[in-house]
Amino acid sequence: MAPLIVAELYHFVETLAAEGITVLLTEQFAQTALAVADYAAVMTQGRVAMVGQPDDVADYMSAAYLGGSD
């Protein structure tokens, strides 16, 4: 999607979350999703590999998807 539309979509997701509405978001740009998430799950090979707060899963996610160190 166009960057402007993505920004509007994420703003809308943040608005819903602020109202107490749970949103399940699947996003190819994981860092973008982690920026608005309260809780995150990392999937590898079709299985949930780690769950937690965005800051807690960020390093694992980078290692799993980008080949960084564990």
Q: Where are the domains of the chain?
A: 3-66
pTM above 0.75, yes or no: no
pLDDT tops 60 at residue 60: yes
Mean pLDDT of 40-57: 91
The identity of residue 36, as a single letter, is V
Mean pLDDT of 9-26: 91
For 26, the 3-state DSSP assignment is coil
Mean pLDDT taken over the chain: 86
The two structure tokens encoding residue 6: 């993505």
